[in-house]
Amino acid sequence: MTGAAGRLGVAVASGDGRRRLLRGGFGQTLDTIFGSGILAMCAGGSDGSELWWSTGGQFARLHAYDMFIQGQREIARPRLNEDAKGVGIRCLTGSSAGAPTLNAPIVTMSSSTSNDSVLLWAGLRNGVVMAWDCDLGKLLSTDIVLASRDKAVTAIAPIDATRAWVGCEDGTIVEVHAPATKPDSSWSYSGKCFKTRDVFPADAHERPSFGEPRENSKGVRCMIHNANEGSDGFMFIACERDLFLEIWDIADATCVRVEALDDLGAVVSLMQHPTVRDLIVSVHETGAVQLWGGDKCAVKTGDRVMTITPGFKQVEKWSLAPFSKYFGKTVIGAVAVENVLVIGHASGKLTIWSLPGAQELHDTTLHSETLASSPASASVTVRWGKRVAHESGLVHLTKIDGGGSLGVVTVGRFGSIMYWPLAQLESGLGKGRKPRPMLGTPSKMNEDRLKPKTPESGTLSDTARIAYEHIKLVQKIGEGSFGRVYKAKWNHIDVAVKFIGPSDIDVTASGLGRSLEELEKEVSIMTKLRHPNIVLLLGVVMSPRPAIVQEFCVRGSLYTVLQRHAKSGAPELTWRLRLQMALGAAAGMLYLHECTPTVLHRDLKSANLMVDRYYRVKVGDFNLSRAEIVASSESAEFSGNLHSPSWMAPEVLCDSQYSKASDVYSFAVVMWEIQSLQTPWKDLHIYQIVTAVPDGERLDPTATHGVVFHEAKAYQDLMMRAWQQDPAVRPCFEQLVEEVTTLLSAEIARDPQLKKDAKIQFFQRERFHQAA
């Protein structure tokens, strides 16, 4: 693939922590000159870990890069079926003569902020709006919406998982609704016809002013939705080159307030405060940054809260030079990541500001004191710094938060794309910046009750105990078997912190005291295990919330890796990598079974197999029976459970008889996942599985996905031997390691290039570990 789409392989890391996702060059330079470069970009996907962008040209073209697997997905160009031309297309404004088409580039994009939503909105230069399913990599339906005839869509602001407001070049605002249902944990979009509602028509003579003269107002520049739970909330809207900020009531579709920006300049970007959801942040063409009160805030919606910086130039000069967006300090956009605001300038530089958090703003919630009268607001210390993102100039930047990536992605004028992790951005703020409050910090009313025991008052060894205050939580990365999982920093290294049980768990409860003590002893033993295919356990946090601290694997779980490669257009997962991952899991399990005393996993499944940067699989969450007791807030002895029946052996489902052979059965199901890239027994209810497996039913051993595997017969035979009904005849992990190694060697020998690549990767890993 050439042109602006570039050629994306494994991201290349630089010495300062940033990663180059796409290298610009002559082809990308020509694309930019002739208008087919990158036009819009946003994060998408159910967990926000995919980077989606559009390129110019005659047709609407989208590209996607999965930050989690660090690979590009092939996204087919959207087309309308010949028999569906004009069907379902709505002409909401302008003339209805002639059906709108997709023969125009995508110039604005936005994804839903709701959890588990896969909806991505895209606006075209000819006024068409369409919705994409990020998981499937295709249009939601052939039904598209014409928001404004021949006037570009300039802003899209999602309201929830199904609705969005669309703003256009001529000032039109339309609400679009994609019918959907959420039966379980993910959204399912259905129906061919979108529902629409006119908010502000194109034929309106002037925008709402409430008596204020508005001379420069043009098309919509940016919008942001702000709401608290149980409310539709408000939409903040800024127009192009306009010195006013509009606040609209979403339920009534009416403008309720207009705020003058004479001292700040026209708005370039609007965003929610990343940690104080009641506040809105605006960035202006003058470089000014302003905080505004949002829905159900302590101040009125639309009131000014704090000016972070007055800007770098006078308001009167903001409209000079029609081509100023290509030069100098001109602001082209801004994003907020946690308590860091990043402003992009046309020169290629980034200005980084620290945003005051809830602690510094005296907790701006519905029940807090009015910020305007708070004496602390004037004493907030704001830090700032600079970074050079692209020497050629900057055209786009967007936030990425998902799949282990948290930071900002920037696009250079000649097509290069860079990823800046949050830690690198924070390092540019300089010394003396006030520390951000950690996630999960206990409230004052619980501080005394949740204080950890001192060494004098405790009777346990502290060899495996880690103090909570020594951990800095970075971001939530998923839900584990026991509770929420966070990426964190401990002793300047990345770790995974697995909190056990609900957030309001009472660690002083008498029923949990003994279980927590046994958990600490259990983890203390596990921390002594060392093997390349075992997740390294580092210790346990006892209060204010019990948690397990372990090695962080950048690619997440094997389940996640397999599911991402199963997506439409995702890069193929080669059999060399599949066998390499299967061998890693088997080798880790062999080590556990040969320990003295023997360590049984009891819950072996793809979600508990972690994958590092080099696709090496490491066994995790083994033998932590006490963690399950704490997580369920029970004091009874562990006697088996049904939280993972799809991977459980028949004897475990019937009598909770765990053994080495039951772990082998679970590994056979993992082998089936690696071959099929599917979820086992996904169409059966838990109670159907409990009945079917003991009765001898098994998964289809021939289920496959992707490239042809020449040793498929031998692989399937091994898998079926490992899930036999009788535990006594199942192979042990030593046999499994030997046979998977034979299959991997045969696959490498079949292709000389694979053999060469395997040697190169081996030496690269060796150099990496020696350097570490």
Instruction: Cite the annotated binding site for ATP by residue number.
Output: 498
- CA–CA separation, 46 and 564 (whole Å): 11
Helix (H) or strand (E) holding 764, with range, is: helix 752-771
Question: Largest alpha-carbon pair distance within the chain?
Answer: 86
Q: Pick from 600, 599, 622: which is nearest to 609 by CA?
A: 622
Binding site per annotation, positions: 498
CA angle centred on 644, ends 642 and 650, rounded to 5°: 75
Q: In this structure, what token pair is assigned to residue 176?
A: 């679009």
Burial class (CB in 10 A: 0-12, 13-18, 19+), 528: exposed
Residue with tokens 């992605």: 409
In order of 161, 186, 447, the CA distances from 116 in angstroms are 9, 5, 34
Is 129 within 8 Å of 176 (Cβ atoms)?
Answer: yes
| 232 contacts: CB under 8 Å, gap ≥ 6 | 159, 249, 250, 251
Residue type, position 631, single letter = A
Question: Mapped to the 3 state alphabet, what secondary structure does 232-294 carry?
Answer: CCEEEEEECCCCEEEEEECCCCEEEEEEECCCCCCEEEEEECCCCCCEEEEEECCCCEEEEEC
Q: In this structure, what token pair is assigned to residue 588?
A: 């880790």
List the beta bridge partners of residue 181.
188
- CA–CA separation, 156 and 173 (whole Å): 10
Q: In this structure, what token pair is assigned to residue 321?
A: 């030079």
Tell me which DSSP letter residue 400 carries: E
List the beta bridge partners of residue 244.
260
Q: H-type helices in 373-447, by residue range?
A: 422-427, 444-447
Residue type, position 309, single letter = T
Q: In this structure, what token pair is assigned to residue 102?
A: 């997709």
- CA–CA separation, 441 and 439 (whole Å): 6
Question: Mapped to the 3 state alphabet, what secondary structure does 474-535 carry?
Answer: EEEEEECCCCEEEEEEECCEEEEEEECCCCCCCCCCHHHHHHHHHHHHHHHHHCCCCCCCEC
Q: H-type helices in 677-732, by residue range?
A: 686-692, 712-722
Q: Sign of dihedral through CA atoms 278, 48, 120, 341?
A: positive
- CA–CA separation, 33 and 546 (whole Å): 56
